[in-house]
Amino acid sequence: MNNVYLESFKTFFKIGAVTFGGGYAMIPIIETEVVDKHKWVNKEELLDLIAIAQSTPGVFAVNISTFIGYKLRGTKGAVCATAGAALPSFLIILLIALFFHQFQDNKIIASIFNGIRPAVVALIAVPTFNLAKSAKITLSNCWIPIACALAIYVLGVSPIIILIAAGICGYIYGKYIKPTE
Protein backbone atom coordinates (compact mmCIF):
# COMPACT_ATOMS: atom_id res chain seq x y z
CA MET A 1 0.00 0.00 0.00
CA ASN A 2 1.54 3.27 -1.10
CA ASN A 3 -0.96 5.79 0.29
CA VAL A 4 1.30 8.61 1.46
CA TYR A 5 -1.54 10.37 3.28
CA LEU A 6 -2.32 7.34 5.43
CA GLU A 7 1.36 6.47 5.81
CA SER A 8 2.26 9.99 6.99
CA PHE A 9 -0.69 9.97 9.42
CA LYS A 10 0.35 6.59 10.84
CA THR A 11 4.03 7.57 11.03
CA PHE A 12 3.40 10.81 12.89
CA PHE A 13 0.74 9.17 15.08
CA LYS A 14 3.34 6.59 16.11
CA ILE A 15 5.94 9.31 16.74
CA GLY A 16 3.46 11.35 18.77
CA ALA A 17 2.35 8.32 20.76
CA VAL A 18 5.80 7.17 21.88
CA THR A 19 7.60 10.47 22.45
CA PHE A 20 7.89 11.85 25.95
CA GLY A 21 9.58 15.14 26.81
CA GLY A 22 8.37 17.54 24.18
CA GLY A 23 9.02 18.12 20.52
CA TYR A 24 12.80 18.01 20.57
CA ALA A 25 12.72 14.48 21.97
CA MET A 26 10.95 13.55 18.71
CA ILE A 27 13.91 14.46 16.51
CA PRO A 28 15.73 11.09 16.59
CA ILE A 29 12.49 9.21 16.00
CA ILE A 30 11.49 11.59 13.19
CA GLU A 31 14.92 11.16 11.61
CA THR A 32 14.65 7.37 11.75
CA GLU A 33 11.14 7.32 10.30
CA VAL A 34 11.23 10.17 7.81
CA VAL A 35 14.85 10.06 6.61
CA ASP A 36 16.02 6.47 7.09
CA LYS A 37 12.84 4.39 6.75
CA HIS A 38 10.53 6.28 4.37
CA LYS A 39 13.16 8.49 2.70
CA TRP A 40 10.68 11.34 2.45
CA VAL A 41 13.46 13.90 3.08
CA ASN A 42 17.23 13.71 3.42
CA LYS A 43 19.20 14.79 6.51
CA GLU A 44 19.94 18.26 5.16
CA GLU A 45 16.28 18.86 4.33
CA LEU A 46 15.30 17.64 7.80
CA LEU A 47 17.80 20.05 9.35
CA ASP A 48 16.27 22.91 7.34
CA LEU A 49 12.73 21.88 8.31
CA ILE A 50 13.76 21.66 11.98
CA ALA A 51 15.18 25.19 11.81
CA ILE A 52 11.95 26.46 10.23
CA ALA A 53 9.79 24.56 12.75
CA GLN A 54 11.80 26.04 15.64
CA SER A 55 11.43 29.58 14.38
CA THR A 56 7.73 29.30 13.55
CA PRO A 57 5.21 30.14 16.27
CA GLY A 58 3.51 27.10 17.73
CA VAL A 59 4.35 23.68 19.03
CA PHE A 60 7.48 22.16 17.48
CA ALA A 61 5.92 18.71 16.96
CA VAL A 62 2.96 20.18 15.10
CA ASN A 63 5.17 22.49 13.05
CA ILE A 64 7.65 19.81 11.95
CA SER A 65 4.91 17.33 11.05
CA THR A 66 3.06 20.04 9.12
CA PHE A 67 6.14 21.02 7.12
CA ILE A 68 7.08 17.42 6.31
CA GLY A 69 3.49 16.59 5.33
CA TYR A 70 3.34 19.70 3.15
CA LYS A 71 6.61 18.77 1.47
CA LEU A 72 5.17 15.32 0.73
CA ARG A 73 1.73 16.17 -0.64
CA GLY A 74 0.90 19.83 -0.15
CA THR A 75 -1.96 20.95 2.06
CA LYS A 76 -3.63 17.53 2.31
CA GLY A 77 -0.31 15.96 3.29
CA ALA A 78 0.19 18.66 5.93
CA VAL A 79 -3.26 18.02 7.39
CA CYS A 80 -2.71 14.24 7.56
CA ALA A 81 0.75 14.47 9.14
CA THR A 82 -0.35 17.15 11.61
CA ALA A 83 -3.43 15.20 12.64
CA GLY A 84 -1.25 12.15 13.19
CA ALA A 85 1.20 14.08 15.36
CA ALA A 86 -1.45 15.90 17.42
CA LEU A 87 -4.00 13.13 17.97
CA PRO A 88 -1.98 11.00 20.45
CA SER A 89 -1.33 13.98 22.73
CA PHE A 90 -4.97 15.00 22.55
CA LEU A 91 -6.14 11.49 23.46
CA ILE A 92 -3.60 11.13 26.28
CA ILE A 93 -4.51 14.52 27.76
CA LEU A 94 -8.19 13.63 27.51
CA LEU A 95 -7.57 10.36 29.41
CA ILE A 96 -5.44 12.12 32.02
CA ALA A 97 -8.15 14.73 32.53
CA LEU A 98 -10.76 12.03 32.96
CA PHE A 99 -8.75 9.99 35.47
CA PHE A 100 -6.33 12.53 37.02
CA HIS A 101 -7.99 12.56 40.42
CA GLN A 102 -7.44 8.78 40.71
CA PHE A 103 -3.69 8.91 39.93
CA GLN A 104 -2.46 12.30 41.16
CA ASP A 105 -0.89 10.86 44.33
CA ASN A 106 0.14 7.48 42.90
CA LYS A 107 3.79 6.81 43.80
CA ILE A 108 4.22 4.25 41.02
CA ILE A 109 3.19 6.75 38.34
CA ALA A 110 5.49 9.40 39.88
CA SER A 111 8.38 6.89 39.91
CA ILE A 112 7.79 5.97 36.27
CA PHE A 113 8.01 9.62 35.21
CA ASN A 114 11.10 10.16 37.38
CA GLY A 115 12.72 7.32 35.43
CA ILE A 116 11.64 8.67 32.05
CA ARG A 117 13.01 12.22 32.57
CA PRO A 118 16.76 11.36 32.37
CA ALA A 119 16.16 9.26 29.26
CA VAL A 120 14.47 12.26 27.63
CA VAL A 121 17.69 14.25 28.12
CA ALA A 122 19.55 11.59 26.13
CA LEU A 123 16.85 11.62 23.45
CA ILE A 124 17.45 15.34 23.03
CA ALA A 125 21.27 15.08 23.17
CA VAL A 126 21.61 12.45 20.41
CA PRO A 127 19.90 14.47 17.65
CA THR A 128 21.89 17.51 18.73
CA PHE A 129 25.10 15.70 17.80
CA ASN A 130 23.55 14.34 14.60
CA LEU A 131 22.35 17.82 13.63
CA ALA A 132 25.81 19.21 14.37
CA LYS A 133 27.25 16.74 11.84
CA SER A 134 24.63 17.65 9.23
CA ALA A 135 25.23 21.36 9.83
CA LYS A 136 28.97 20.79 9.34
CA ILE A 137 29.89 21.92 12.87
CA THR A 138 33.63 21.39 13.35
CA LEU A 139 36.23 22.35 15.94
CA SER A 140 36.77 25.64 14.11
CA ASN A 141 33.13 26.74 14.29
CA CYS A 142 31.74 24.86 17.31
CA TRP A 143 31.98 28.07 19.32
CA ILE A 144 28.98 29.45 17.39
CA PRO A 145 26.30 27.03 18.67
CA ILE A 146 27.92 27.08 22.12
CA ALA A 147 27.79 30.90 22.21
CA CYS A 148 24.20 30.88 20.97
CA ALA A 149 23.15 28.33 23.60
CA LEU A 150 24.86 30.32 26.35
CA ALA A 151 23.25 33.56 25.17
CA ILE A 152 19.84 31.91 25.38
CA TYR A 153 20.40 30.01 28.62
CA VAL A 154 22.59 32.41 30.64
CA LEU A 155 21.65 35.81 29.26
CA GLY A 156 18.03 35.05 28.44
CA VAL A 157 18.31 36.21 24.83
CA SER A 158 15.28 35.23 22.77
CA PRO A 159 15.93 32.34 20.37
CA ILE A 160 14.27 34.43 17.66
CA ILE A 161 16.90 37.14 18.14
CA ILE A 162 19.61 34.47 17.95
CA LEU A 163 18.19 33.09 14.68
CA ILE A 164 17.90 36.56 13.15
CA ALA A 165 21.44 37.49 14.24
CA ALA A 166 22.81 34.17 12.95
CA GLY A 167 21.10 34.71 9.60
CA ILE A 168 22.54 38.22 9.30
CA CYS A 169 26.02 37.01 10.29
CA GLY A 170 25.77 34.13 7.80
CA TYR A 171 24.78 36.55 5.07
CA ILE A 172 27.67 38.91 5.85
CA TYR A 173 30.13 36.02 6.09
CA GLY A 174 28.96 34.51 2.81
CA LYS A 175 28.85 37.80 0.93
CA TYR A 176 31.98 39.58 2.15
CA ILE A 177 34.31 37.19 3.95
CA LYS A 178 34.04 33.79 2.26
CA PRO A 179 31.65 33.87 -0.67
CA THR A 180 29.95 30.57 -1.43
CA GLU A 181 30.11 29.15 -4.92
Count CA within 13 A, CB hemisphere, residue 131.
19
pTM of the model as a whole: 0.62
pLDDT confidence tier of residue 22, bands split at 50, 70 and 90: low
Question: Which is more confidently placed, 58 or 11?
Answer: 11
pLDDT tens-digit series, residues 46-95? 999 998 998 888 888 899 999 999 999 999 999 999 999 999 989 988 98
Angle at 24 between CA 116 and CA 6, to 5 degrees: 100
Q: Is the pLDDT of residue 1 over 50?
A: no
What is the identity of the amino acid at 22?
Answer: G
